[in-house]
Structure 1
Amino acid sequence: MPGKFVVSISCAKNDTDKATVGFVIANAAVASDKETVVFLSIEGTRLSQAGYADDIHEDGFAPLKDLMTNFAAAGGTIYVCSPCFKKRGLDEDNLVAGAKIVGGAKLVEFMGEGIPSISY
């Protein structure tokens, strides 16, 4: 079922359950032939850093690192909120595969009109 889908994740180690479920849904969307973007904002921007998610593993789910790797390998894109990223002093040279630092206008452009989305 072609189309687009957005998963917005504003959590990281402050709520690993939400961060994990967000990437589970993103993987389901990209596997359903949706052009899928994960938008990381607020604390979620920390997930953009290589190694950060390595120790996050919620019971009943694949490790978050694997979910993120699989998402990028399947063609998913990770947009990282630029102001949120900068506020936290994160490293642009340490981004995970598929991650791009963007402003809000890029997300709005991708979403266009009527694009389904979900937030965690």
Structure 2
Amino acid sequence: MSGKFLINLTCGLDNTDKATVAFVVANAAVASDKDTVVFLSIEGVRLSQQGVADAVHEEGFAPLKELMDNFAAAGGRMFVCSPCFKKRKLDEAVLVAGAAVVGGAKLVEFMSDGCPSISY
């Protein structure tokens, strides 16, 4: 059984319900001692910017910023799709804790020895 877990998140403010649930699952995975990565792609890359998630609070869940902060504090990592990030002209100087802009090879390396994943 793999000690890793990947959550692929393609949504951000365009679907805050999916973004919130993705980080709920990410927190569960990291709390289960899985080496956990949230891969932010497409519109999800916007969540890599400080302040973007601050006002998101889906009913019945913790605020998105709190979920993201807890995930990073527990050792979770966010891989931010480099081409998606560049296309949206985002700022690498204001990345949230735990986030790193990476190319596809880094994602493939993480998943290469068998890694369950889920997509939102």
1:104 match = 104
Q: Does 1:95 align with 2:95?
A: yes
Aligned ranges 1:21-60 → 2 under 5 Å: 21-60=21-60
Distance 1:54 1:46 in 2: 12
Distance 1:19 1:113 in 2: 26
Distance 1:71 1:95 in 2: 15
Percentage of pairs with the same residue: 73
Tell me which moved more, 105-114 or 88-97: 105-114
1:13 match = 13
Q: Deviations over 1:20-72 (max 9, x none)?
A: 00000000000000000000000000000000000000000000000000000
TM-score, length of structure 2 as denominator length: 0.98
The one-letter amino acid of 2:26's match is: A
Aligned residue pairs: how many? 120
Given that 1:2 and 1:33 are in contact with CA atoms closer than 8 Å, whether structure 2 keeps it comes out as no
Structure 2's unaligned 5+ residue stretches are none
TM-score, length of structure 1 as denominator length: 0.98
Distance 1:2 1:60 in 2: 31
User: How far off its partner does 1:2 sit?
Assistant: 7.0
Equivalent residue of 1:25, what SS?
helix
State the superposition RMSD in angstroms. Answer: 1.1
Q: Does 1:83 align with 2:99?
A: no
The one-letter amino acid of 1:107's match is: L
Distance 1:114 1:103 in 2: 19
Structure 1's unaligned 5+ residue stretches are none
Given that 1:2 and 1:32 are in contact with CA atoms closer than 8 Å, whether structure 2 keeps it comes out as no
